[in-house]
Amino acid sequence: MDFSREHIEYRVKQIGDSSLVWLKTLNRYLQLEEPAFLVFQQFADGLIMKEIVQNFAAEYAIPEADARRFVSEIKHRFESLYREFQVPDDPGVPPPARALPFLSYSERNIKVSGKIIRFTFGDSVMEKYLFPHFAYLEFDTDQPVCDLHVEFLNHHGKVFMKVNQEQLYAWPANQIYKLKGALFMQILNEIHDEIKGEWMGVIHAASVSLGNRAVMFPARSGGGKSTLASLMMAHGCSLLSDDFTPIALNGGIHSFPGSISLKSGSLPVLESYFPELMETRESQSPSKEEAVRYLRPQQPEYPANGGFSYAELASSVQVHAIVFVQYKSQKACELERISNLTALNDFLTESWLPDDARVSEKFLDWFFEIPCYTLHYGDNLKAVELILSLLKDVT
Amino acid sequence: MSPKERSRSANKNISRKEAISKAGKYAVFTASSMMLILNPVKAQAEPSPDLPPDWYY
């Protein structure tokens, strides 16, 4: 795709002297300082190179040769960005579902927010990969009717997911994590059906709440977010999600009922709070070398039985702080406020945001309203204390 | 002034003194110092949650 006027639809948010630009065609965000933004905007307005160079030289009182070099550099960067963009391959017409040998190796049901969700696994590998996330919600039923039925098949190097007997999705078997993402979205939409699938995005973050305030811990795997979220849970917070945090279009944070996955390194820290962890079996992921154990999420502020609904939980909860956590055994505990502009790139790296201009505007407005922090912690209780103070005091 | 207005006003009614002063804010005009491409992962460009493998176990 070429960098030309017809492909440049964008939205912009001004933060100080920086312009945050979202390019619709690429669904990418850029941070442009004023000179680069002026150049970009004149290309977007359809001006030709010569005019832009002249304008730029006059704007900054620099020789035209210098202006031309800079404008060319910016143009070249945009051209590269647009050239790299690959239009997603058309997956083609999938085979009719009936042509695929969907078999039932096992059938498991879960009940969540009053909904019965049925999984039919074609083999033990897929069952062991997917079901432990929801095993604590298992529900025995002979009832033939369910609210959501998802079937899985691993066949000829591909993994398939069939939803409610009709929609069929497929991925290469080595990208089974994509199937997991799609399954999580199906479950998310089923239990939060009032949102009608309209999400601002899903963030790779653990999230906990106290009252109507939540803190998010976005982090790559290994940062200690699940351990800290579990510790927060042990100190009276509700767990909204371990690593799949949905944000609705109105900015409200919602919950996802997957279990917390914990690596062996966190067991010594957590075993006194959650002795059941030591009795649970380790699970091996097909994509990870390290085994994990699953911990049931808890919402101590909400009734454990009857009336509990994931749709209700968090329906009015707002994010009051975004904390990038990193466990460092040598550090006691250091919580530092950082600028949102500094935090944005790390946050985007952990976000899935749909390709939609309305969403991109809402997302930037939402993100820049929330205080961001880094937390380097080695002293667990001190870290809990600091996060609790954020949950209680941030206004 | 919005970015759009600022762009449109470029090269209009600006004195040489103002222009030199503006340029002085920027030590060097280089694309690398003025343009940061955020979010290097592909996640945003996909129509459904195509999340990086390390999101999940």
How many angstroms separate the CA of residue A335 from the nearest CA in chain B?
A: 24
A58·B54 Cβ contact <8 A: no
Instruction: Give the minimum alpha-carbon distance from A142 to chain B in angstroms, rounded to a whole number.
Output: 30
Picking from A227, A223, A144, A152, the residue whose alpha carbon sits closest to that of residue A182 is: A152
- Within 8 A by CB and 6+ apart from A299, the residues are A238, A239, A308, A313
Nearest CB partner across the interface for B31, out of A42, A73, A351: A73
Distance CA A71, CA A60 (A): 13
Interface contact A30-B55, CB threshold 8 A: no
Going from the first residue of chain A to its last (395 residues), give the mean pLDDT of each consecutive group of 10, the final group possibly shorter: 86 93 90 95 95 95 94 94 71 63 90 92 92 92 92 90 88 85 90 82 93 90 87 94 91 91 90 91 69 87 53 73 89 90 92 87 95 93 94 69
Q: Which residue of B has its CA nearest to A66?
A: B29
Interface residue A85 vs chain B (CB under 8 A)? yes
> In this predicted structure, what is the pLDDT of residue A395?
42
* Residue of A3, A59, A87, A288 for testing the chain B interface, max B β-carbons within 10 Å: A59
| Closest Cβ–Cβ partner in A27, A59, A69 for B44 | A27
Triad A139, A140, A145: Cα angle to 5° = 90
Give the closest of A31, A66, A182 to B48, CB-based: A182
Assess B24–A contact: CB distance below 8 Å, yes or no: no
Mean pLDDT of B5-33: 69
- Determine the distance in angstroms separating the CA of A234 from the nearest CA of chain B, rounded to an integer: 23
CA A364 to chain centre: 15
User: Strands A238-241 and A205-210, how do they pair?
Assistant: antiparallel
Query: Taking CB atoms and an 8 Å limit, are B45 and A55 in contact across chains?
Result: no
Q: Give me the amino acid identity at A155.
A: H
Is residue B2 less than 8 Å (CB to CB) from chain A?
Answer: yes
* B-proximal residues of A, 360-379, CB under 8 Å: none
A225 and B CB contact within 8 Å? no
Inter-chain contact B51–A85, Cβ cutoff 8 Å?
Answer: no
pLDDT at A290: 74
Residue A42 touches chain B, beta carbons under 8 Å: yes
**Are the C-beta atoms of A210 and A301 separated by less than 8 Å?**
yes
User: How far does the CA of residue B30 sit from the closest CA of chain A (Å)?
Assistant: 6
Residue recorded with tokens 């006027």: A5
Measured between CA atoms, the residue of chain A closest to residue B16 is: A61
Specify the pLDDT at position A308.
Answer: 46
Tell me the pTM.
0.85
With a CB cutoff of 8 Å and minimum separation 6, the contacts of A383 are A228, A231, A325, A333, A375, A377
CA distance A270 to A24: 44
- Which amino acid would we find at residue A15? I
Chain A window 47-76: which residues touch B at a Cβ cutoff of 8 Å?
54-56, 58-62, 66-67, 69-70, 73-74, 76
A71 contact partners, CB below 8 Å, separation of at least 6: A39, A49, A52, A53, A56
Q: Which two tokens stand for residue A7?
A: 């492909």
* Residue of chain A with shortest Cα separation from B54: A221
